[in-house]
Structure 1
Amino acid sequence: MKLTQIKIIHFGKLNDVTFNLNKDLTIFLGANEAGKSTTVAFVKQVLFGFHLRTNKSPFFENYQPLDHVSPMGGSLTFEDTDGTFILSRLYAKGDPKKGVLKVSLNDQEVPESVFFDRIQNIDGSFYTDSFIFNQDMLREVNGLSQAELMEQIYFLGASQSHKLLDLRDEFSSNAQKLFKKSGRKPIVNQLINQIQEQKEVLAQTNNELNDYRELEEKLTQEKEELKKIQAELVELNKEEQKFSLLIQKLTNFKQYQQLREEVQPVSFSKESYERAQAIQNKISDLTADIKNLETQLDEIKNSSELSNKDKIQILVDHKAEVLHWESESKDLQRQIETTKKDLESYEQFQPEAVKLSKLSSETRTKIKDDYQALKNQKEENNNLPGILSLILLVAGLFSAIAINNLFVRFLGIMIALGGLGLFVWTKQTNTKKSQKDQEFIEKYGLDPNVIDLNSLWNEVVQIESKKQTLGQLDQDQVSLNEKIQAFVQELYPFTQRNIQTFSDIVNQLNSLQKVIDQNNLSKQHLNDVAVHLQEKKNQLAKNKIDLSNLFAASKVTDFAQFSKLKQQAEVQEQLKLKIEALQNDLQADLVQLEEITKDPNKLTENKEQIEKQISQKQVQINDLHAENAKLENQMHVLANSDKYFAEKQKLTDLETSLSENVKEYLANLLTSNWIARGLDLASNERFPKMLEDAKKYFNLLTGGRYVDIQLDKKLKVKREDGKKFDVEYLSRGTSEQLYFALKLAFVEQVADKIALPILIDDAFVNFDAQRTNYIVKLLEELAKKTQVLIFTARQDLVSSLELEPIRIEKEQ
């Protein structure tokens, strides 16, 4: 699991900063007090909770924002094979240690256990002891004695070894405060001496004490005797109870024997019975089904009888013809309406033609002849004479007035007189013609000067034709209605309905068609029911055969005998269950009960004998109780001295105090030894696995001076010249380097379970240039296996690693 981003909202002196990290080695470069340790504390506290001066370690100091802004906290982003984890933690007053923690995986909020299960649910102390390297850790190592440092190195393989060592020493110290072999001040030593002195005080009352002890010894003997007799009485009571129980069980045993005699073999198969029962149920169901089907078949036969089906079918087959009649009727009606509209238009626009069409043929012929004669006369007497007379009149008057020649004037006057005469004659002729026109109008009501009678005759022909067509259409309509009415009369006996329209006819035909269809379906259903009925009968016959075969196999004739056989089997099964229950209850005593049944009186005699012994023992116990009471009274008289009892009570108190302190001493001693043994076991399991990696890191840290670490009975290191040294003989600096190497190896050992980054916070601040080069090689080697974050103020270390650092600037 790689830490890829640190996002700080408000924490200590850092506000609104984000650090994007490498997955192997990342360097934070900043001056002292710039915020490097604050960043390390932020990583620790977002992971495991805030510590506001509530932890003894100086590492967990108060990192509240300097300007008291809100919110305090931020987030850490981790990546592993399952995706991206984001841990966001903000300070909350209600829970100042834990704060408000939110865990998300791939942008989906999940329970915090999903993340902490990945890191084995370690706590902040374990992470600090194992993964954080800083000046506090080095100062802690420097404060240890050589022996303590050796222990820290050896027990590093055990989880929480530092705390366990402190706890072991605390229990050992508490034990020594209570007792030392040659000590005088420890509490247990003092109590032993005080008890001895108190016993000497009590010895001064020797005579009374001896008498008291004699009585005490005798009382003890009497009590022992009483205890012995009481134990014997208990055993006798057990024997008596056993005999009483046997007497009770004897009745059950007799019942057991009687039941065994009632057991008889019954040849009964539960499976066969259940199968026969199932077949019997099928037969009953099939019989009921057949009865229902036969009833249904009769009902269908009765309902499917349709009289006059052929006549109904013939009527239904005329449905297409009826639809044709409907279409024909609509067409005739439409033609009649069209013809009537045409005749009405003649009434409106050709009233003269309509009037002529209403006359008889002789009258129309007479009108035609008179009109033709009148027309011929008009052609003969046209207007030419009138026009010529006017011309002559005008020409004669002009000649008589305009020309001075007398002859010409005379000739002009004669021409004018001739024109005037011609004009008068023409006028008279036209007057006669007008009289004939008037006679024609009065006779026929037609103005020959206005109408064109020849074209009017054509209109009359059209009107006559329309009237003939209308008459034919009316006749066709009547004929069609007669057909329809005849069909309706045929339909009525089957419908008994008053039919008015074609829709009524079609609806009735559809209803009759449904009757025919329903009749056909009923017949089909009749066939289906008949087939289904036959199938049921076949199944019934087969089941009866199967049941008969099953009865024969079970040696019964019918189901009643089979049921009786079942009852017998159930009775025998109940007998077996009762026998089994009695047998389980009597199992331990069966052999003895069989013997008792041979001589029942012997059991009664034995019981009476035991009861007699119990009565004797009870008398002995009563006598011993009376004797004990007498002895206790005598002891009370001897021990009636207040001083004696005060001294005795003092001795008792001293002995009680000694017992309690001894228990506490042993508890502390055993706990200390148990912790030490646990550390040995834990270190023996993990420590050898750490040596291989620790050798490499120790070699790098010492510049190749030490080449090996060996674990036999003691932990030893091997120098490059082959010389070996016990750990307690190493220099302080070399011991620190060994401790550093082993701690790194421990982190690598648990990396498969706890893959968290190592945080190194100015742990190499005091290293010289040569040792810094060793550190660079170590860090490069370490970063190949696990993620490392370095927080330093040393530019030379950054330059040696050849990495671009994350700079933390100190606020001005």
Structure 2
Amino acid sequence: MKLQRATIYGFGRWVDETIDFSGHSYICIYGENESGKSTLQQFLLFMLFGLPPKQRTFYQPKSSGKLGGRLTVIDDNGKKFTIERLDQVRNGAAKCYTQAGEEHDETWLKEKLKGMTKTIYESIFSFSGADLSNITKMKEDDLGEVLLGIGLTGSNNIYSIEKRLDSKMGDLFKRYGKKPVINQQLKTLEELFSDLKKHEAREDTYKEKKTDIQVIKNEISSLQSSIHQAKEDRFTLEKQQQALPLIKKYHYYLSELSNYPSQIAFPEDGIERLNQLKEQLLPLKSELSVVEDNQRKYKERREELQQKLHEEAVYKQAQEIIEGEQSYLENRREIEKIRVTVKQLETQMKKELEELDLGLDPGDLSNITFPFQIEKTWNDIKNNRDQLNAEQDQIDQEAEYLKKQQNELESLREEEEACVLADQQRNECVHKLNRYNEQDYMRSFQAAKSNQQLKWEKAKKQKEKRISNLFLASVVAAVLIALLASITDDSLLFTGTVILLLLGGGQYFLGKRSLHVTDQFLDTNEEVISSSTITKEEKENIEHLLAEDKQRREKLEVTLQQLKALHVQLMKWEEKKFALQTKEKQLLVRMEEQYKHYPFLEKISVSYWPEFYHAMKNLLSQNRKKVEYEALYQKLNEYQIEFENKCRIFLQDISGESVNDAMEFQLKIIRKSLEDRENAKNVLRQYENWSIDNAEQQRVLKQKVETYEREIRNLYDTANVNSEDDFLKKAKQVEKKKEITEKINQFVSQLSIIFPDGDQNTFINGKGINEQTLQGKYEQNKEVIGELEKEIEAKRHQLASVHSDISNLEMSEAYSNIMHRFHRESEHLKKLANEWAVLQTAKGILTETKRSYRKKYLDKVINRTSTFFAVLTDHRYIKVYPPLENTFFQVEASDEIRYNVNELSKGTIDQLYISLRLAISEIMSNKHCLPFIIDDAFVHFDSIRTMRVMEILADQAKHQQIILFTCKSDILQAAQKAKIIRLGNPIRI
């Protein structure tokens, strides 16, 4: 789409103005500050996308009541239509008029714009100098949001959906929020949990109070024991006071007893004791007989139970089976989970394979393997194909250019050859010009010769005189030397004389000869000038004709040289074409090799191989997971079958019949067998314990029988008798003494009753008997009892208080109510959490969709960014790397060193941002060919960088309209290839 004409009824400072954008795709709008450049830019955006009422109010003209205008554009199909917007008409909605006279509404315009919005347009097709710093903070997600606008026409719907998802998720839960539902629910649960803990603490207090009751009871019991002991002590003191008269009588009868021998060989109460022993011995023997009979019965019962039990190995195997039951049940759940997962993977792989439309089934993925270098190989093939296509286009363009140039040069050569003089005609002209030159030369020569003849005559006389003088001088010198030689008779002097004569004669002869030759030359007769003379006018015409012919021949020579150079270029073109064909053959060989290994690649364009690789890599990864899950499923299933067989065989072994019941029933039978075995063991242990007790009882009875028999023998031994009769006779002898001692014994018995602890001997002997001492001890004991009774009363009050607290706790239902409410609110929280999880999953799917679209365009954008950046920086930087999650943009210099964007100069950062925006605009123009608007974005550029970016913009304008707003005169001078629109007051077009 290209802008043709903007008619402004009223918009800001612009009123009734028209701006023509036609005739050129590269437009530079120049104006000083406050000349209306930004307002004009907003007007264009208003015409394309509209403005809300509040924003339209901001641009209401001060000197006009109308706000709006018309914008004439040409769409991608070359059809012209006009957009009209008026503030007070249709609430600022667009009305579109086609050349065919049709009228359309805002919806039609949006369809023409292919869903483009103002926000997306400003992020892709428009930027200013204020935006240049964005690249230093741009991260992966920021770039992804821009790229999403490239990949999705309705990306604003995705933004709105994402916003609604975030809003709903925010209504449900925020990490540090208080109003969201889940946050409030969590707060409610925290409060309930706090109350629950308090009641649990009260429950713990209940246990403590129960413990306190027992402790208090124990203390009361201890105190009661103490007071009981004190009362017993008091009772003892009272008895001691009562026993004093008995002790005195005891001493009286003791003195009577001293009249009898001190020792009589007869056991005390021998007759009675003997009768008692005999009476006790008889039932013991009877009981012993019964116990021995019971021991025989216990033994028979144990043997009967042991016969019913299986071997220990059987129960050990049953125990192993029961121990493996939990693993069996967990494996069964895991198998079901794996089955569902494998089904989901198969469905996902089948869906993705159907989307790829390669004719592959999920089962074919197991036979596909990708070496580690295949991604690089496919990228190389794709890049080579793109490069070859580019080279082929370049070669085709070059061939067309060379052919056109050759035709032009051939035509020019033929024209120039037709214009040059023929060789014969040119030779005649040269001959005539030579004849004229000869004639002119002869005339000049004759005049010079006459003048020279006069000068020569004078010089000749002087030269003849000089030659003669030299000859005479040499003769005279020779004569003198000869005379001297004759006098001295020196042969060398004679030789010198000869040499002088020869030199003098030779010089004279040569001089004369030279003069003669000169005379002959000067005396030569004049050549006769040809009668056919050429006039000066004819000579000038001939020279003019030859000069024109020379120029034509020079032009012809230049043309011939150009044809030769063009021939060399054609030869080089042929070499390039041959090299390109060789590369294509090599590429085809590589492609055929890939087709051989991966036949499904034939259905895919080479340009999409890298994307296909990542898709297949994901599918292969899913297939590997499926295979791993299937292997785990098989392993677990084998374990389950082995466990079931083990159970079935075990039950068959112990029952002797085949078992086909369900595993739960089989395991129940096995557990029942273990329980029966344990019960039988308990019974056996009981019988064993009974047997042990019985044996012990027999031993005790036998020991008692033996004891009684030994006692009877002891009685006989004491009485020094061997039979019962002798024993009875001796009993009569001691009866009289016994009557005496009975009185003493009576007193002793009475004292024993009074003093059950055996302290009667002390009182009998008269030691420690003191009425005052006993009275003092009695008073002291009375005080102790009083203190203990008070303490017991206090403990009883404490016990009653604890009983009251426990009663209150047992009657309270608050704990159960809070517990019930806590579980109910927990279930509500789970529902809210599930709802939030669904929204989170939806957002994750939406994010993944955005990421896939971002990946689709990221490589293209970054490659074009690298190309533009390399040109702008004169190839000092050759590659651009996109930002990642935790990094910013990086660039690679020609020495292969990488730099972070923050490490670059301001001008270089601006170059990088402009390269990125140009790349995004170019990629986007494939789908939305909209004008690219730039507002003073080259403020930090020097003259060289400005010229480079102007060249790039001029080149981009070949396929996309470029509108450059600037207030810089140096940028205006650099934009020589652009159509210049100067803004002033008023505006001049």
Q: TM-score, normalised by structure 1?
A: 0.40
